[in-house]
Structure 1
Amino acid sequence: MISPDQVAEMLYPAAAATTSKPGPIPTVIPTPTHYQLSGETGHRTLWVLFALMTISSGVFALLSWNVPVSKRIYHVTTTLLSIVSALAYFAMAAGHASSLSCHAVRDRHSHDIPDTFHDSCRQIYWARYIDWAITTPLVLLNLCLLAGVDGAHTLMAVVANVIMVLGGLFAAYGAEGTAQKWGWFAISCVSYLFVLWHVGLHGTRAVQSKGARVSKLWASLAIYSLALWAAYPIVWGVAALARRTSVDTEILVYAVLDILVKPVFGLWLLVSHRAIAESNIDLGGYWSQGAAAEGRIRIGEED
């Protein structure tokens, strides 16, 4: 006896082929989370930078040994530069100053398999941004003091610099592909332009009254430091924003830039400042004697 299914296959072979039992539904195995973490090279680099910044702090402190307290402003700022950076690198090397910034990545498959998503997490050293928020204003302060920039423009430059650094920090943790990330990036870039405006323009005008030697020194230091600062957002964009480099490469590049901007800049400033008398800034009164001593002097003068 012929079954109904066999009759259908004989009369409508094409239809029988198309109405065959479906095969198994393709399965999709989710892609595991992808991590971008520092390795042995990056870890060693962080410890080396901690040692270099600590040694630099000691050198800058020794250079101020025979300098009167009223004329140690550059020695104090450069020493603080290195100390803060040393603490930041110690925190990063010890593993206490980083966190993961994660975002979802789409995995595209063939037409019959639906797309899937996996998380991509990159290690962000937030202590680096705290370091920059404290140390880069000290570099600006040195440039403004050397040029003789007024307090109003110096304060505006320092505030713009802090906004620039914090904008980079917020953008590094921003959601991928959102206006939030690029908005903070734009704010950071605009703040850098304000730094150039207040330091570059007003510094160029103010330093002319201090003579050719101070003007030449200031121009060299300003171009040197501001040009290096322009490299930071480029590295940040490639590493933290686009995530095109490894975390170890990011650490190495930032380490080179930090050495050039902090110990090299500080040593250049202190050695040149010692040889140019016109660059001296004598901060008497409270800076060298304290408020109580200044009060006693005023009473004595009135008597």
Structure 2
Amino acid sequence: MIHPDQVAEMLYSRTATSTHTHTPGPIPTVIPSPTHYQTAGETGHRTLWVLFAGMSLFSAAFALLSWRVPVSRRIYHVTSTLVPIISALAYFAMASGQASAFNCETVRDSHKHVPDTFHDVCRQVYWARYVNWALTTPLVLLNLCLLAGIDGAHTLMALLANLIMILSGLFAAFGAERTAQKWGWFTIACLSYLFVIWHVGLHGTRMVKAKGARVSRLFATLASYTLILWTIYPIVWAITTLARRTSVDTEILIYAVLDVLSQPVLLLWLLVSHRAIAETNIELPGYWSQGLSSEGRIRIGDDE
């Protein structure tokens, strides 16, 4: 049997539970995250200085090689020497802390019981890299066009398409994330690259056959090598600059390797092969090697 006191105790506990009021807890608060900056670290800065020194050494080596070649046949050496010089200046600007800017995008922070907050993520973009490519890649293409014997019309169109490709990449790097700016410019850059391939790769393959089998093989090898490297660039660019999937240091390291392979290594390969194949020689007489002629000029004040 249940004791009367136990019944009274049970009724009291139920009454106390039903009449108890819960006091509200503290309202959760969220402090917005500060702006996050993605910048180059010690590894990136050290890599930039190493590339500046390396490109300077390649410039000196190419200049020494050109002294052993007659001026009339020095077109490959002149263009090849200019490439590492320009690249060295660009890497000096980047290594010394210049030639960069921040591209910021707004990121949403989701929370469970309170409204979402937002913060900015600003990534360091080296615009000197695009200036470097805008000046050096046309010189590389010019060498390939001269090697294949491509006519001036296709050469000019290839250089213009290449310039549009580089500038589109620069505009995409600073474009807004949530608009069509970034991927729109990226698409324009890829289409321009296809025009470069058509004018240099496909048209050059037909034109170089007139120079013989040795020059054809050399052009096919150098053009394929360039095509592979230049195809890697937009892939890396989309992963690092556009999607921001890597750190700035990793981006610097990858581009450093690609720049060395696509600039001094490629051009050194061309110069060494050029010396061994006589059919690649290009004679540029006249103003290129002898200057303007003084014949036919009227000198005021000379004795008759």
**Matching residue within 80, 90, 94 for 1:78:** 80
In structure 1, the partner of 2:259 is 258
In structure 2, the partner of 1:190 is 191
- The CA distance in 1 between the partners of 2:221 and 2:297, in whole Å, is 41
Alignment CA distance shift 1:83-1:246 (3 Å): same
In structure 2, the partner of 1:162 is 163
- The CA distance in 2 between the partners of 1:143 and 1:63, in whole Å, is 19
One-letter amino acid of the counterpart of residue 105, structure 1: V
- Worse-matched range after superposition: 271-280 or 175-184: 175-184
**Matching residue within 103, 106, 110 for 1:104:** 106
In structure 2, the partner of 1:6 is none
The 5 A counterparts of 1:82-97 are 82-97=84-99
User: What is the Cα deviation at residue 23 of structure 1?
Assistant: 4.3
3-state SS of paired residue (1:288) = helix
- The CA distance in 1 between the partners of 2:126 and 2:265, in whole Å, is 23
3-state SS of paired residue (1:106) = strand
Q: Structure 1: 5+ residue runs without aligned partners?
A: 1-9
User: What is the Cα deviation at residue 296 of structure 1?
Assistant: 2.2
- The CA distance in 2 between the partners of 1:189 and 1:21, in whole Å, is 63
- The CA distance in 1 between the partners of 2:260 and 2:241, in whole Å, is 20
- The CA distance in 2 between the partners of 1:297 and 1:40, in whole Å, is 62
**Which of these two proteins has the greater Rg computed from alpha carbons?**
2
- The CA distance in 2 between the partners of 1:284 and 1:236, in whole Å, is 42
In structure 1, the partner of 2:3 is none
In structure 1, the partner of 2:282 is 281
Alignment CA distance shift 1:143-1:298 (3 Å): farther
> For residues 192-237 of structure 1, what are the alpha-carbon distances to aligned partners after superposition, in whole Å with 9 as ceiling and x for unaligned?
0000010011100100000001001111100001110000001100
In structure 1, the partner of 2:179 is 178
In structure 1, the partner of 2:8 is none
TM-score (normalizing by structure 1): 0.90
User: What is the Cα deviation at residue 35 of structure 1?
Assistant: 1.1
> For residues 54-105 of structure 1, what are the alpha-carbon distances to aligned partners after superposition, in whole Å with 9 as ceiling and x for unaligned?
0001111111112111110000000000100000000000001111111100
User: What is the Cα deviation at residue 166 of structure 1?
Assistant: 0.8
> For residues 267-287 of structure 1, what are the alpha-carbon distances to aligned partners after superposition, in whole Å with 9 as ceiling and x for unaligned?
100010011000000011111
User: What is the Cα deviation at residue 181 of structure 1?
Assistant: 1.0
User: What is the Cα deviation at residue 26 of structure 1?
Assistant: 2.1
In structure 2, the partner of 1:232 is 233
> Does residue 128 of structure 2 align to residue 127 of structure 1?
yes
Q: Structure 2: 5+ residue runs without aligned partners?
A: 1-14, 299-304
- The CA distance in 2 between the partners of 1:120 and 1:177, in whole Å, is 13
In structure 2, the partner of 1:296 is 295
**Matching residue within 39, 42, 46 for 2:41:** 39
One-letter amino acid of the counterpart of residue 38, structure 2: Q
> Does residue 49 of structure 2 align to residue 30 of structure 1?
no
User: What is the Cα deviation at residue 297 of structure 1?
Assistant: 8.4
Instruction: Provide the identity percentage.
Output: 72
- The CA distance in 1 between the partners of 2:145 and 2:296, in whole Å, is 30
One-letter amino acid of the counterpart of residue 55, structure 2: M
3-state SS of paired residue (2:223) = helix
- Number of matched pairs: 284
- The CA distance in 2 between the partners of 1:193 and 1:296, in whole Å, is 47
- The CA distance in 2 between the partners of 1:103 and 1:69, in whole Å, is 52
In structure 2, the partner of 1:210 is 211
- The CA distance in 1 between the partners of 2:297 and 2:267, in whole Å, is 36
- The CA distance in 1 between the partners of 2:139 and 2:297, in whole Å, is 32
In structure 2, the partner of 1:64 is 66
> For residues 162-203 of structure 1, what are the alpha-carbon distances to aligned partners after superposition, in whole Å with 9 as ceiling and x for unaligned?
111111111111111211111101000000000001001110
> Does residue 57 of structure 2 align to residue 55 of structure 1?
yes
In structure 2, the partner of 1:5 is none
In structure 2, the partner of 1:149 is 150
- The CA distance in 1 between the partners of 2:204 and 2:154, in whole Å, is 9
- The CA distance in 1 between the partners of 2:259 and 2:102, in whole Å, is 23
- The CA distance in 2 between the partners of 1:277 and 1:232, in whole Å, is 33
**Superposed structure 1 runs of 4+ greater than 4 Å apart:** 20-23
TM-score (normalizing by structure 2): 0.90
RMSD: 1.9
